[in-house]
């Protein structure tokens, strides 16, 4: 008889699996992420029982992998306890790790993936590779199922607007992005109040304020130099604000000459000006996310670009009186859509097509989208989920919610999720731009070249916005 998994069991299993995964790391990570076999897989359907719509076998084990990053793993343990309350005989294997690709790519290659994977972080397995190799379950049936709390309401109708786009590829949903996140800029409200600094309303006002900040012996900016993807949304939204959201859509859709658009060039020149004016904290290009965020918490730098998870990720480090204030990217003069912000679903959960307990995986996601599941997440990490009606008692989360109140201003740039080669190039390209190794012209040519190569590559699926 299998027993209900306790928190102690979960931790023990995590350590054991972490040891096993370290051994698996010796397996080379091939260019192709997966096995790519054509085995027929049983599809999940909706049955007549609203309490168990996917027909879960209550005794079948469930294998869950969680990215142990800015949101930690406590919320996932709470979710698994909800699953075990319903299926007490189901043994849950739980791995929390930051090494998603290192631990999970070998399992895909062997045809034995986990049932549910939080495919996030710096070691995220490229979604385009997984989709092109047929390794992911399509999740639309989850959205059409009765919600966990009310069988008369579908799961789809419990979600906040704009949360499905990031996981949708040419009309097919391949990932459930569970966290409602915004990529913003951040500053310390207490520091600004003490110094008498007003929040800038434009890029030009921000640049003028940077002179005053620097005169106080504080660097105006820092960022995660080792992970320049943190600059991606800042750059794309800066261009989109200036020329309108279609500027970003053209880049995502691989339209000819999209990177040479005047607004994209203007955004590159603006970002480069932070380097030219020496407004970036020395050492930033070599700093990881923890080092840059700690410098920010220590008021060594006034601004940092990051996502909504920042306060939770830094709560063991930041001073108790640190006041996180999120703000949208400061618009350039002449911007036609100044309210544009990158917000929507983040933290992609996937169900492999070869999952052993696919029905259990779909039910696990359905439980995550219940009011209790979403509240457990919100309470654990002080951030919003994609589920409507869940309140989080946290000032930074509330301020972020105000920033994303207008659905017409919400858009998530997608090309780095759609095309792994472009993702690699924009990371290194932005890093080179902000460290002065590339000037704006060189950066634009670099990105236009990789975009052209991607558009001409007939071996991969190309994606477009609706």
Which one is predicted more confidently, 395 or 260? 260
- β-pairing, 219-221 vs 301-306, is parallel
Mean pLDDT of the chain: 89
Burial class (CB in 10 A: 0-12, 13-18, 19+), 139: buried
d(Cα 95, Cα 243) in Å, to the nearest integer? 44
**Residue 41 pLDDT level (bands cut at 50, 70, 90):** low
Which range (31-45, 78-92, 449-463) has the least confidence?
31-45
47-60 per-position pLDDT tens digit: 999 999 999 999 99
Which pLDDT score, from 0 to 100, does residue 394 have? 76
Which range (57-71, 179-193, 400-414) has the least confidence?
400-414
Q: How many residues are recorded in the chain?
A: 466
- CATH superfamily, domain 7-181+344-409, is Periplasmic binding protein-like II (3.40.190.10)
Domains 7-181+344-409 and 183-342+413-455 equal at CATH topology level? yes
Radius of gyration of the chain (CA): 22
Q: Does 234 score more than 50 pLDDT? A: yes
Tokens standing for 439?
Answer: 């000037």
Which pLDDT score, from 0 to 100, does residue 161 have? 82
Q: Does 389 score more than 90 pLDDT? A: no
Share of the chain above pLDDT 90, in %: 77
Mean pLDDT confidence for 17-21: 32
d(Cα 427, Cα 422) in Å, to the nearest integer? 8
Q: Does 305 score more than 60 pLDDT? A: yes
Mean pLDDT confidence for 205-219: 98
Domain spans in the chain, listed from the N-terminal domain onward: 7-181+344-409, 183-342+413-455
d(Cα 51, Cα 149) in Å, to the nearest integer? 10
Which pLDDT score, from 0 to 100, does residue 131 have? 94
410-419 per-position pLDDT tens digit: 999 999 989 9
Q: Domain 183-342+413-455 adopts which CATH fold?
A: D-Maltodextrin-Binding Protein; domain 2 (3.40.190)
70-92 per-position pLDDT tens digit: 888 999 999 999 999 999 999 99
Which pLDDT score, from 0 to 100, does residue 134 have? 95
Is pTM beyond 0.95? Reply is no
d(Cα 341, Cα 343) in Å, to the nearest integer? 6
Q: Are 126 and 135 in contact (CB under 8 A)?
A: no
Which range (200-209, 355-364, 379-388, 451-460) has the least confidence?
379-388
């Amino acid at each position: 008889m299998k027993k209900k998994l306790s928190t102690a069991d979960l931790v023990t299993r995590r350590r054991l699996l972490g040891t096993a995964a370290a051994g698996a790391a010796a397996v080379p990570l091939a260019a192709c992420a997966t096995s790519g076999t054509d085995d027929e897989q049983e599809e999940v359907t909706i049955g007549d029982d609203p309490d168990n719509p996917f027909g879960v076998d209550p005794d079948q084990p469930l294998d869950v992998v969680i990215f142990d990053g800015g949101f930690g793993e406590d919320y996932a343990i709470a979710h698994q306890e909800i699953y075990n309350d319903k299926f007490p005989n189901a043994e849950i294997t739980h791995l929390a790790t930051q090494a998603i690709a290192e631990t999970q790519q070998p399992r895909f290659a062997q045809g034995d993936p986990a049932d549910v994977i939080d495919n996030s972080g710096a070691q995220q397995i490229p979604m385009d590779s997984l989709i092109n190799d047929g390794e992911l379950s399509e999740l639309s049936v989850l959205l059409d199922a009765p919600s966990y709390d009310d069988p008369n309401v579908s799961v789809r109708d419990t979600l906040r607007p704009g949360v499905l786009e990031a996981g949708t590829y040419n009309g097919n949903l391949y990932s459930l992005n569970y966290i409602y996140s915004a990529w913003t800029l951040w500053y310390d409200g207490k520091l600004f109040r003490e110094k008498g600094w007003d929040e800038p309303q434009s890029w030009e006002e921000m640049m003028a304020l940077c002179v005053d900040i620097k005169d106080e012996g504080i660097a105006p900016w820092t960022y995660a130099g080792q992970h320049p993807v943190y600059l991606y949304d800042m750059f794309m939204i800066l261009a989109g604000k200036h020329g309108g959201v279609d500027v970003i859509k053209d880049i995502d859709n691989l339209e000819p000459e999209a990177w040479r658009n005047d607004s994209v060039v203007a955004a590159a020149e603006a970002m480069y000006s932070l380097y030219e004016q020496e407004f970036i904290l020395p050492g930033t290009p070599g700093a990881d996310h923890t080092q840059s965020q700690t410098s920010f918490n220590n008021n060594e730098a006034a601004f940092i670009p990051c996502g909504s998870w920042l306060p939770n990720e830094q709560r063991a480090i930041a001073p108790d009186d640190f006041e996180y204030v999120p703000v949208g990217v400061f618009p350039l003069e002449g911007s036609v859509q100044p309210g544009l912000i990158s917000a929507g679903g983040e933290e992609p959960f996937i169900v492999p097509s070869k999952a052993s307990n696919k029905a259990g995986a779909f039910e696990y996601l359905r439980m995550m989208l219940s009011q209790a599941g979403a509240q457990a997440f919100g309470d654990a990490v002080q951030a919003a989920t994609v589920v409507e009606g869940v309140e989080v008692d946290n000032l930074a989360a509330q301020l972020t919610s105000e920033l994303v109140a207008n659905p017409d201003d919400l858009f998530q740039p997608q090309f780095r999720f759609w095309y792994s080669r472009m993702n690699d190039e924009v990371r290194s390209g932005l890093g080179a731009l902000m460290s002065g190794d590339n000037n704006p012209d060189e950066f634009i040519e670099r990105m236009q070249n990789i975009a052209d190569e991607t558009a001409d590559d007939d071996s991969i699926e190309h994606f477009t916005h609706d």
